[in-house]
Structure 1
Amino acid sequence: MWLYALIVIIFAHSTYIDSQAIKYGSMATLLLVITFIETLIVTLYAPVLRILFPRLLSGPVRSPKGQPGSFRHRQEDEEGEAELIPPLAQTRNHYWNITIYTMDVIICGLVMYFSAPFLNPPFGLGSPFYRYGMSTVFAAAAAFRYRGGLLAALGYDLFALLGLFIHAPGAVNYTPNAVDIAGSLVDTPIVAILVAYLSNLLENYARSKRQERENARTQAALVHIGEALLQGSGDRQQLLQRSLKSIQRGRFDRLTIALIDLARDDTTARVPLHLAPMLIRQENTFTVDQLPDNSTRLIQKVLQTKQKLLTFEPIEQENRGIARLYLPLLKDEHAQLVLGAESLRMTPFNMQHEKFLTIAGTQLLVALDNIRLAEQTVRLAADAERGRIAREIHDGIAQLTYMLSLQAETCQAQAQRIIEASEEDAELLSPLAERLSKMVMISKQALWETRNYMFSLKPLMSGTTTLTQMLSNQLREFEAISDIPTQLHLEGSDDIYDEARLRSRRYAQIGTTFFRIVQEALTNAYKHAGASQLDVVIRYQPEQIEVDIRDNGRGFPLSDMRDIRQTPEAPQILSGHGIKGMRERASELGGHFTIVPQPDGGTTVRVGIPF
């Protein structure tokens, strides 16, 4: 349009007389210089030059050393972040954009106003720069669509009306007519509407192409994730590590997966939320130094609110910022997995990123659930096999050992009666009686060990079994095996806990731990303490469950108690793993373990586990 104005001015110049030509030529030259400078400024931001020189006109973009081009720029192009580039300069400040386009309309309107007297009519359509000025309406409509284009057209028409009522210097007498007025005022709104319509069509087409490309990339990434999951692994750590690489694949600079440990019942505020040991991260080595690591704090915040976290933190003196998206994946109203993505970007993460992480995280959660179900199946199969072995021992070895014990005891009693009845045979039968006595003792010990192993193989807490029922059954079995009177005492009740906590995995773990510790303590009392009475106390408290195992045996010597306090990790005279094993079982669940000597003899083993 500038070249068109130049041609019109050159040919129109020859029609003027000399006095008018000097005046006409000086004004035309000034306007040509002004519009030429404006044309250069506008052209520097035109789409063609932005395509030819993207790094020159798109702002500072850092690329990794040794890599050609701009890694970040390519990545943002692939994600389709940039919209259609408008003809004029455009910044991220909305007010600056309005100022730029307003100044362009004002300059073009003034040029049209002062150049109109060169031809007839002396306003609007008569100006050689009339079509040049319409390009500002074209630019505004391309950038701001209908609203911006019509406002620019209205502003441009105001300068045409100004020339109609107040002629510019040098204008000749002119009688207005409807054709000139309509031609000067109608063209620009029509151009604005057409350009805005075409811009909308182009933008919709570009958006559909970006959506198609994004869908293709998402499908390809999900295929890689599915392949990683199909490789199969019973190790959660390996599964998460493989999945991370497939999910990231250049989309994010940092990707974090937090697998939440549901061993603690996080439905109650009494038990603090905590992360499992599995906090796995995949990072882009080129941007890791520019991304501060706040992932643990942000994951804790997401767990507390159970809501996604979407933030964008601009970086000073750069045209980009840190985009973060932390997405919790819930099951039964519990957050089981948190996916955290961070990147250096020009815009925040959008709905496409959230959708992609949701799909990928759901697939990962299903794979993790399959691992859990497989482990549960193994445990159920092991429990069933242990139950079968326990039944076999009870029906086979235990019965035979019991019969052997009865026969040995009968033979011992008969030999003792013969010795008491005949002094002559006493000397001969005394060695036999001693051997039979040892056989009775060994057979009873074998019977006790067999029954103890048989009971240890039985499943512990299954179905709706409570801790009280489990320990009550354990004490009855022990009393039948050892012939030592036992009693169970309750302080409080498990009614203080809600149904969700009693059905949680945490409660099952606590019950199993208490069963094994009580079993070890009872065995020690039977083998070493010489106790004639055992008492087990269960205390149900809001914050923890506590169990005491008391015996009236000989207790620990003072030297042994000192060694226990000073070297709790050293194995003691107790059977099995002894104190070390009981202490470790309690510590695994965050509990405490103490041995308290009784003033009147005997020992109390006290175990408390938070719940």
Structure 2
Amino acid sequence: MRRIRQSFDVLVPALVGVLVAFMVVATSAFTAAIAAPAALVALASGAALWWRRRNPVLVMAIALVGGLVVQLVAPLTVFPLAALVAIGSLAAARSPLFSLPALVLLLGVISLNFRTTTAEDTQFVMAVAVVVCAVGEAVRNRRVALAQAAQRAVGEEQARIARELHDVIAHGVSVIVVQAAAADDVFDQRPDRAREALRSIDATGRATLEELRKLLGAVRPEERPGLDRLADLVEPLRAAGLHVDVRRDPVPLPAGVDLSAYRIVQEALTNTLRHAHASRADVVVRNDSGVLELEVRDDGRGGVAGFGRGITGMRERAALLGGTVDAGPLPEGGFRVRARLPLAVTA
């Protein structure tokens, strides 16, 4: 799948540029002095499509200018194919505030062909441009809907964990506080009673710790996802246009670590899909000397707004297991989330 996508990203710019350049050169109505510059502009417009996923606004602008130049210099050649491809990518990546003005400009460039081609042909290409833009917008809406659904799921999971933590901890901590106060009151006069209170504190603490382990562990495991379900997690993201590559070492995991690792990866990918405007993300899971290491990196815009709350939630999850989460933009571009979770939880 990855190779197919990469091949497609290479072939589209090449085919569009070469096709338009060939049609310019092959048109006998123009001299070499006119055809050569127009062909170079066509090649440049096609080559710019290579960056259409990373910077669709700039690529759209280049395609519009290139299409306009070709139409003015060699109007008998071809419609602005590069711009037709670029408008779809722009609509899929940005809001209508960007795509609709670009579509209007594209229709204006296409309308120049009224001078040299039939009205039916020009209207057909205009309709194609509108359809391509609409398809791109549909892709973007689906991507946003998936991201919102994933965000809601994360929020619901966080709320569930908070409720369960309250139920588990509130009683145990209350008992410990009462017993500690009682031990302090009788410590000098009745050391035997103080010792009983301390034993009760010890027993209550151990019971509470066990409840916490159950909370993070195998409570109804059929409803608690783990890293073995990463394929199910990334499939809808791929369908939404985000290429996700997963590399995972076969590491046996405690149930609590498995669940938290899954949720951290889920949150990181959700942030990538929703905020980063990325085209790909890489997920790496490996065992580093008894510590589960997770790394999620993308090629989008690092450090954009919207990541803060999600990162806080990931850090809270990791801290419950004695782990850590580091997140931040990469020097070469993109964003990385790295988590380290101990495989052995100590009391």
TM-score range, shorter chain: 0.3 to 0.5
Q: Which has the higher helix share?
A: 2
Instruction: Tell me the TM-score normalised to structure 2 length.
Output: 0.39
Greater CA radius of gyration, 1 or 2? Answer: 1
Relative contact order (C-alpha < 8 Å, sep 6+): which is higher?
2
